[in-house]
Chain A
Amino acid sequence: MISRHQRILFWVLVACIIAMASLLFWERERARDRISALADATPIDAPYTNTESITLDLANDADGSVTAATRAIALPDEATARARALLEHLVAEYALPDSPHPLQSGAAVDDVFLLPLPIVGHAIDTSAKPNPGGTTSTVPVASTDPAALQPQTPGGELAVINLRSSFVNAHPSGVEVESLTLLSLIGTLHANLPQIEQIRFLVDGQPRETLAGHADLLRTYPSRDTTVQATVPDAP
């Protein structure tokens, strides 16, 4: 004969088991909802987080060489943002410890502007009659320089790289080190943005004679493959 106290204890234990099972089921449902919320695929950032293989032309001060190296990085699709991101990645490589071409870390490129070639400006149209409102008529004019600012192929572009003065002022001084920086920038753009045919440099929006006292920043550079190996003269 089971005593009354034992029956009461049995049914209390059964009730506890049912309550515990209900609690566990409820907690499991909550956890599943939380994980589902974390896995939400709704886009938040701009859709350029997919990495791609790009080529960086890396300089080496020891032997004066520029060699191509591939990296997998995420880049935006828009051309000017892409060019700027490429150059920032390149300069960031040089800021790493033991870099063969050490440069100061930090942002180097303020903007990159891509202009379709040929460059066309505007001049006052001397043959037009004065406008009633006092405004002046203008006509588009092409550059008078036959060698520069002309596209080699249709769709060719001029890239204007606006460097930050903080980067330029901290750049090491010397013919080799400055030339290698320019070659590296030019070669990286050439390898990844083939529509760029010519490149000019500004510093904080203004033209500057040299990068750090030597390499010419006023001229227009042709976009080209700048990978070079150290040259050793042939024996006579």
Chain B
Amino acid sequence: MLAVATLPCLAQTAPPAVAPVPSLAASPAIPFNRGVILLDPAHGGVDSGSRISDSILEKDVTLNLAFKLRSLLSARGFSVVMTRDSDAATQPGSPNPLTLDDRAGIANHAHAVACLLLHATAAGNGVHLYSSELEATPGEPPANPWLTAQAAWVTQSQRLQKQLGLAFTRSSIPLVMSRASVRPVDSLTCPALVLELAPNGSDNSTLNDSAYQQRVAEAIAAALVFWKNQAQPPANLTPDQIPTAPSAPSTGAKP
């Protein structure tokens, strides 16, 4: 079952009825597993991220949103891999803090059909969606694979961005879509987006509003159900072109 689910050509026509278990030891020849979603709640531990107010920190908002998303996605048959599932962002089995390259390594080993880097801010309102600023280079080995690994996936990331944008528009959630250079998105070998949650209106405290977070999470989950069967691997990506971080951990926190 797992083998069928992880073969992209077969999974397009016969998606698995039961969500496959994410296989982190899968062959690098498999571009992605359609049943796996990677969530990266940004910051964590001593890195609190943006201080939205005296009582609201970005690291807490991103983790709460990730938990809501994980529940919704699991209910829809996805397996969710999270780079952290507690306040501390440490490497597995080690007290060392999780670096941005470590997060990218976890994402690349998960072979997810979508990688969402979750952030939060007090600026603007609604949801901000960013894809990588790299130019698409299908089939051409980049000069520095680790820092430009996303180049082969940019086209898919932009399609995912459009899919999520439509879902937010349908849900009447204010939306800004653009491109940005935010590490480690350029090192990800999956359709990857930076999703930044901004307040609902001008009140920053709405970032902690459970109902608002739930509405955003439901829009994302609905879009990912559609995306599951629309995602395509880069045309000319070969196993040799899938980079890994020099000291990336082999696994991440799993639900």
For residue A177, which residue of chain B has the nearest CB? B123
Contact of A175 with B177 at beta-carbon distance under 8 Å, contacts A209-B183, A216-B183 already known? no
With contact pairs A173-B58, A176-B198 given, residues A215 and B182 touching in the complex (Cβ less than 8 Å): yes
A20 at the B interface (CB under 8 A): no
Kindly state whether residue A236 has any CB partner on chain B within 8 Å: yes
Structural contact, A175 and B183, CB atoms closer than 8 A: no
B119 at the interface (CB under 8 A from A): yes
For chains A and B in complex, what number of residue pairs have CB atoms within 8 angstroms? Answer: 101
**Nearest CB in chain A: distance from B172 CB, A:** 13
**Contact partner, B121, options A173, A209, A216, A234, Cβ 8 Å:** A173
List, in ascending order, chain B residues with CB within 8 A of A212's CB: 50
Separation of A234 and B176 alpha carbons in the complex (Å): 13
Across the interface, do B50 and A232 meet the contact criterion of CB distance under 8 Å?
no
State which of B51, B123, B166 has its C-beta within 8 Å of the C-beta of A61.
B123
Which interface class (under 10, 10 to 19, 20 to 34, 35 or more) fits B? 35 or more
Which A residues from 124 to 180 make CB contacts under 8 A with B? 145-148, 172-177, 179
Q: A146-B143, A215-B180 are in contact. Are A175 and B175 (CB under 8 A)?
A: no
Q: Are B49 and A215 in contact, with the CB atoms below 8 A?
A: no
Chain B min CB distance to A31 (Å): 59
Q: Are A175 and B176 in contact (CB under 8 A)?
A: no
Assess the B162–A176 pair: CB atoms within 8 A.
Answer: no
Interface SS, A side? loop
The residue on B at minimum CB distance from A217 is B181
Q: Is the CB of A174 within 8 A of B50?
A: yes
Contact A174 B143 (CB under 8 A): no
When each residue 146-176 of chain B gets 1 if its CB lies under 8 Å from chain A and 0 otherwise, what string results? 0100000000000000100110010000011
Cα distance, A230 to B147, chains bound together (Å): 27
- With A175-B121, A230-B176 as given contacts, are A213 and B50 in contact (CB-CB < 8 Å)? yes
**B: which residues have CB within 8 A of A?**
43, 47, 49-51, 58, 119-125, 128, 130, 142-144, 147, 162, 165-166, 169, 175-178, 180-183, 186, 194, 196, 198
Residues of A in contact with B (beta carbons under 8 Å apart): 61-64, 145-148, 172-177, 179, 182, 209-210, 212-216, 218-219, 221, 228, 230-236
